[in-house]
Structure 1
Amino acid sequence: MSIQTTIEQKVSEAFSPEHMEVINESYMHRVAPGSETHFKLLVVSSQFEGQRLLARHRAVNQLLADELAGGVHALALHTLTPAEWQARGGVPQSPACRGGSSS
């Protein structure tokens, strides 16, 4: 099973999101084609109501601890309540990679 599929399943089961996007951004970095090392994760869940951003991110990081300890090098998190998602109106753009790793 791919890392992306694993992330999708774990997040779906844990947070019952109203909206979720798992975007593999590995192609934007200096990695082998087909790599699964850099992801953007957008989760819209009512379970985030009343939680500060840090608590939301900690919950996701704890859920995905095995993936982060393994092949996932970077995970950009966007954890929103349904009201926050509605106010934002979409997925934020990722900045361009500035290099950093030659491997």
Structure 2
Amino acid sequence: MNIQFNIESKLIEHFEPAHLEVVNESSQHNVPVGSETHFKVVLVTPKFDGKRLISRHRAVNAVLKDELANQIHALALHTYTDTEWQGLYGGAPASPACRGGSRVQNA
């Protein structure tokens, strides 16, 4: 069973996100290798417009109630409206700047 895939699928179906990241952070905890027990979710959706943070988290928890009851030990939620996300990142976080150099050397 792939819990991360189930989380992603349910969140996409229910929230129709503009941006979604589901990160398995289990390896940072004292669990067996390959575990799927600790996750971080970054969810950006217009469905959060006008909703307080607690309402957003409750909505995500309701969608993932089976996973939370049976498989997930910890779930870190970062929930944003499109406007909040744009204000923080202007869309998506920028890629790091190039430090120069080339694989091909001029002869």
TM-score band by shorter chain is 0.7 to 0.9
Matches within 5 A, 1:1-103: 1-89=1-89
Please provide the CA RMSD for this pair: 1.2
Q: Structure 1 vs Structure 2: percent identity of aligned residues?
A: 56
Answer 1 or 2: higher relative contact order, Cα 8 Å, separation at least 6. 1
Q: How many residue pairs are counted as aligned between the two chains?
A: 91
Q: State the TM-score, normalizing by the size of structure 1.
A: 0.85
The CA distance in 2 between the partners of 1:80 and 1:20, in whole Å, is: 10
Name the structure 2 match of 1:99. Answer: none
Please list every run of at least 4 consecutive aligned residues from structure 1 whose deviation after the TM superposition is greater than 4 angstroms. Answer: none
**Which whole-Å deviations, capped at 9, do the CAs of 1:4-56 have from their partners, x for residues lacking one?**
00000000000000000000000000000000000000100000000000000
The CA distance in 1 between the partners of 2:64 and 2:56, in whole Å, is: 13
The CA distance in 1 between the partners of 2:2 and 2:11, in whole Å, is: 14
Question: Which amino acid letter does the alignment assign opposite residue 83 of structure 2?
Answer: A
Q: Any gaps of 5 or more consecutive residues in structure 1?
A: 92-103
The CA distance in 2 between the partners of 1:13 and 1:50, in whole Å, is: 20
Q: State the TM-score, normalizing by the size of structure 2.
A: 0.82
The CA distance in 1 between the partners of 2:27 and 2:86, in whole Å, is: 29
Name the structure 2 match of 1:96. Answer: none
